[in-house]
Structures are given as structure tokens and as C-alpha cells.
Structure 1
Amino acid sequence: MPLTQDQQDEINELRSTTTQTLRATAPGMEKHLYTAYPVLDHGFVRVIDYMGDDNAITQAARVSYGKGTKAVSNDEGLIRYLMRHWHSTPFEMCELKLHVKLPVFVARQWIRHRTANVNEYSARYSILDREFYIPAPEHLAAQSVVNNQGRGEALSGEEAERVLRYLRDDAMRCYDHYEEMISQDDQQGLARELARMNLPANVYTQWYWKVDLHNLLHFLRLRADAHAQYEIRVYADEICKLVADWVPYAYKAFEDYRMGGATLSSTALDCVRRMIKGEEVTQENSGMSKGEWREFQALL
């Protein structure tokens, strides 16, 4: 389970306490505060704090007082204009702080986004829990034969059982030795900062991750994409739900222009114009490489 009963009780206590404020609040996000949403087998995502809402974006764009215009359509239209024309600064006026529990190998992918403030659980001072990510059988897949970064068909039968057994046994054995090395029973005990190196990359860690909306949407555009690794994509998908409730106008524009939209090179755009005119365009006369042409065809 992602949470112990004590942890859930603490969250329930936090959610039962309310405080008056003059700051702008987003009703959609208020309902999510502190709640832990399960991800993978032991992970979760929960909102610790946030700042701003859709109004904060339009207010910053106009450098105005209050909530912007009285016409909601004008505010939504402005947000769509800002998203469409890649005006990023107004979106930086909103921030989100998350508490995330995730496998170490996912954290190492995640930390590549160097535009957030991060504070991770320290295994120098504390002892990590005996919790490891073990994939569900349907997510055990062979290496893709066409993509060096992707997966192919799912493993099955005895091979799948063997891989799962290795993952469980190796993780448990490593943790057993980790515990033995730091034990204080009739021995000095190895320093925790050294003992942790014996733990596998599927052990769980936790961190606080604070990011502005502009950089958060960039993270989601890459990690909620169908081509992203499953284990990080499920976290991004859960965050998408939170953002949709927090800043609905901004998220809808993001879905339209980033997730659902496409960017064409000048060469590809020229090919589209030629196609509209009725010209037969092939890879050979397109000016594109085979890879570019394959992606262009998939896009169309």
C-alpha cells in the first residue's frame, strides 16, 4: 500500500483543518490538497501547496488589479492566445508543490527536468523502507527492435515468471544486506551514506517537487506523451488530472496546442501546401529523410 494508516490519519487531520485567507484560491485544487493519489505499486502523488489560478495568468499578462476582465470568454481567449504564441512568462506566475513517492530509476529520469526546486528524502540520515517497484506482468516487455529507448512485445510464460522472480529476489537480498550492514547489533555498523549504495534502482524514494506552471506543462508534454516510459508516464497522467482541476482554461489550451497539436518544419509545411494543390508528394521528392518522412506520414 502507498500509505500506512498513520500516514492516512495525518492527511485526514490536515484536510479537516481550514484557514481563512485573502489569497486567491482554486476550488478545483482545494479538493485535492494533501490527498495522496496512488501510482504504481507503492508510489503516490499529492499536492502540498499551490499558488495562483487561471486569473493569475491573465492578471499577470495585463499587469492588472483584481481578477482581470469581467467577461470569462475574454480571459479564456487571452490564455489561449498566450499558449498559442508561446508567451511563457504569465504561466510562470502559478506554482505547484508536490510530494511524490517514486522508484529511484524514475526519479533519475524526472530530475532531468532541471527547472524545479527539489528536496529528496535523505538516505544519509534515514533508513529507506523495504519497498520496491515490481512491474505488473503486462508491463514486462522485451527491448523494441525499432526503438533503442522503447519496449516491444510483452514477455510471457516461463520467461516472465523468471524475470519477476529475479526482480523480487534480488531486491529483497540487497535490502537484507543493507539492513545487516547498518545493524548496530554487536558491530560498528556501516554508515548509512555508504550502505545505501547496495540498494537497487527500483527501491522507492520520496521528494518535494515545486515548479511553476510553464515548466510543469513542459514536463507534462514530454512525460504524459504516449512515447514516454510507462513508469514515469503514469505519474504525469496523475498530475495532469490535478492541473486540469487547478487551471482549467490553461490546461484546455495546453491540451489543444501542445498535447493535441503538432509543429511542422518549413519542409513539411511546403509538402502540405503541395498536397493541397493536388501534387503527388513522395519521400523522394519531399526533401525529407526516411525518418522525417515516416514521422510526417504518421502525423498526417
Structure 2
Amino acid sequence: MPLSPDQQADIDAARAATQQTRRATAPGLEEELFTAHEVLDHGFVRVVDYMGDDSAIVQAARVSYGAGTRHVSNDEGLIRYLMRHWHSTPFEMCEIKLHVKLPVFVARQWIRHRTANVNEYSARYSILDREFYVPAPDALAAQSTTNNQGRGDVLQGEEAERVLRYLREDSTRAYDHYEEMLSQDGQQGLARELARMNLPANIYTQWYWKTDLHNLFHFLRLRADSHAQYEIRVYAELISDLVAKWVPLAHKAFEDYRLGGANLSAKGVECIRRMLKGEDVTQETSGMSKGEWREFVNILDGADV
């Protein structure tokens, strides 16, 4: 279980307390506050706080752009206009703070999104829990033969059992030695900031992660994508569901223009214009490389690029 009884009791107490406010609130997200949503085998995501809603985006846009957006007759239309034309600052008016428990190797990917404010559990001052991520059998895949960053077929039979055994045994052995280095009978013990270096990358850490909606959408566009690594994608997909309850109009526009949309180069647009005129366009006549052409054709066919 991701939460201990004491942690769950703290969450229940926080959820039971209510306060009056004049701030804008999002009813859907209010229902999710403090709740720990399980991810992977020991991880979770929970909303700790947020600021703003769909109306905050609209309010900021009308202040920023004034008469230039008065032709947009409703909030949803304005938000879609802002998303369609890649405006950013109105979406930055909304912020959210998450408490996330995740494997260290996932955290190292996640931290590349440098536009957030992060405070991570410190293994210099505290002792990490004996919790490791071990993939479920259906997530235990071989290296892709066509993509250096991707996965191939799922491992089967004895090979899968061997890999899972190594992961469990190595993680347990490393943690046993970590504990022994920290404190042994009659010995002073190694400093925590040094003993932690022996821990595996699949051990769990925790952090508070605060970001604005514009940068969160950028995170989700990359990490909720089907090409993202599974272990970070499941976190992104859960966060995306929470964002839909927070700013439903903005999230709907994001799904339409970012997650469900496609970016075309100038050459791609020109090829479509030629095709609409009845021209038989090929890779050789497109001006694109083979890789570009393959991705372009997949977009037209609706295939997974």
C-alpha cells in the first residue's frame, strides 16, 4: 500500500476540515483535495493546493489583450482561441501543488521540466523507506529493435521470472546493506548522505511539485503521450484527469489542440495543398527526408507516429 495507516488518518483529517473562502474554487478538484491516488506499486499523486480556475484564464486574457479578443463571445471560445494561437501567460495565472511519490529514476526524468518549484524528501536527513518499484509482468518489455528509447515485446516465461527475481533480490540486498551501513551494533555508522549512494534507482522518493497551468500542459503534452516511458506516463495520465476536474474548458482545448492535434512543417502544409489539388505526392517529390515523410503519412492515416 502507498500509504500507512497514520498517513491515511492525516489525509482523512485534512479532508474533513473545511474553510470558507472568497477565492474562486473548482468544485471537481475540491473533491479531490488531499486524496492519494495510487500509481504503480507504491506511488501516489495527491493535490495539496491550487489557485485559479477557467475564469482566471479568461480574466487575465481580457486584461492582457483587451479589444483584441472582444469578438470571442464566451469563455470557452476565448480559451480555445488562446490555446489555438499558443498564448501562454493567461494559463500561467493558474497554479497547482502536488504531492507525488515516485521511483527515483522517474523523478530524474520528471525534474527535466525545470519550470516547476520542487522540494524533495531528503535522504541526507531522513532514512528512505524500504519500497522499490518492480514492474508488473505486462510492463516488463525487451529493448525495441527500432527505437533506442523504446520498448519491444513483453518478456515471457523463464526470462521474465529471472529478470523479476534479479530486480527484487538486488533491491533488497542494496537496502539491507544501506541499513547496515547506517547503524551497526557497537559502530558509529556511515552518514546518511553517503549511505544513500548505494541505493538502487527504483527506490521511491517523494516531493512537492508546484507549477502553473501553461507549464503543466507542456509536461502533459510530452509525458502523457503514447511515446513517453510507461512509468512516467501513468503519472501524467492521472494528473491530466485531475486537471480536467480543475479547469475543464482549458483541458478540453488542450486535448483538442495539443494531445489530439498534429504539428505540420511548411513542407507538410504544402504537400497537403498539392494533394487537395489532385497531385500524387511521394516522398521523393515532397522535399522531406524518409523519416519526416513516414511521420507525415502516419498523421494523415491516423496512425501512431
Q: TM-score, normalised by structure 1?
A: 0.96
Which residue matches 2:260?
A: 260
Amino acid of the structure 1 residue aligned with 2:222: L
> What's the secondary structure of 2:185's corresponding residue?
coil
Which residue matches 2:67?
A: none
Which residue matches 2:97?
A: 97
Which residue matches 1:158?
A: 158
> What's the secondary structure of 1:107's corresponding residue?
helix
Which residue matches 2:69?
A: none
Instruction: Write out aligned runs for 1:182-197 (5 A).
Output: 182-197=182-197
- Inter-partner Cα distance in structure 2 for 1:121 and 1:26: 29
Listed as ranges, the gaps of 5+ residues in structure 1 are 65-71
> What's the secondary structure of 2:32's corresponding residue?
coil
Which residue matches 1:179?
A: 179
Which residue matches 1:22?
A: 22
Which residue matches 1:81?
A: 81
Report Cα offsets for 1:195-228 as digits up to 9, x if no partner. 0000000000000000000000000000000000
> What's the secondary structure of 1:122's corresponding residue?
coil
Shift of 1:133: 0.1
Which residue matches 1:270?
A: 270
Q: Give structure 1 regions of 4+ aligned residues with deviation exceeding 3 angstroms.
A: none
Amino acid of the structure 1 residue aligned with 2:232: I
Shift of 1:184: 4.8
Listed as ranges, the gaps of 5+ residues in structure 2 are 65-71, 301-305
The yes-or-no answer on 1:121 pairing with 2:121 is yes
> What's the secondary structure of 1:152's corresponding residue?
strand
| Compared CA separation, residues 2 and 274, structure 1 to 2 (3 A) | same
> What is the aligned residue count?
293
> What's the secondary structure of 1:145's corresponding residue?
coil
The yes-or-no answer on 1:228 pairing with 2:240 is no
Amino acid of the structure 1 residue aligned with 2:262: A
- Inter-partner Cα distance in structure 2 for 1:127 and 1:48: 24
Shift of 1:73: 6.3
Shift of 1:185: 2.5
- Inter-partner Cα distance in structure 1 for 2:63 and 2:130: 50
- Inter-partner Cα distance in structure 2 for 1:194 and 1:146: 39
> What's the secondary structure of 1:237's corresponding residue?
helix
Report Cα offsets for 1:68-115 as digits up to 9, x if no partner. xxxx96011000000000110000000000000000000000000000
> What's the secondary structure of 1:236's corresponding residue?
helix
Give me the identity figure in percent.
80
Amino acid of the structure 2 residue aligned with 1:47: V
Amino acid of the structure 2 residue aligned with 1:17: A
> What's the secondary structure of 1:63's corresponding residue?
helix
- Inter-partner Cα distance in structure 1 for 2:29 and 2:169: 41
Report Cα offsets for 1:117-170 as digits up to 9, x if no partner. 000000000000000000001111110011000000010010000000000000
Report Cα offsets for 1:18-46 as digits up to 9, x if no partner. 01111111111100100000000000000
Which residue matches 2:41?
A: 41
RMSD over equivalenced CA pairs, Å? 1.0
Moved more, 120-129 or 184-193: 184-193
Instruction: Write out aligned runs for 1:278-289 (5 A).
Output: 278-289=278-289
> What's the secondary structure of 2:101's corresponding residue?
strand
The yes-or-no answer on 1:11 pairing with 2:16 is no
Which residue matches 1:290?
A: 290
- Inter-partner Cα distance in structure 1 for 2:227 and 2:119: 28
> What's the secondary structure of 2:45's corresponding residue?
strand
The yes-or-no answer on 1:214 pairing with 2:214 is yes
Which residue matches 1:139?
A: 139
Amino acid of the structure 2 residue aligned with 1:130: R
Shift of 1:63: 2.1
- Inter-partner Cα distance in structure 1 for 2:170 and 2:288: 47
Shift of 1:62: 1.0
> What's the secondary structure of 2:209's corresponding residue?
strand
> What's the secondary structure of 1:210's corresponding residue?
strand
- Inter-partner Cα distance in structure 2 for 1:260 and 1:185: 59
Amino acid of the structure 1 residue aligned with 2:11: I
Amino acid of the structure 1 residue aligned with 2:105: F
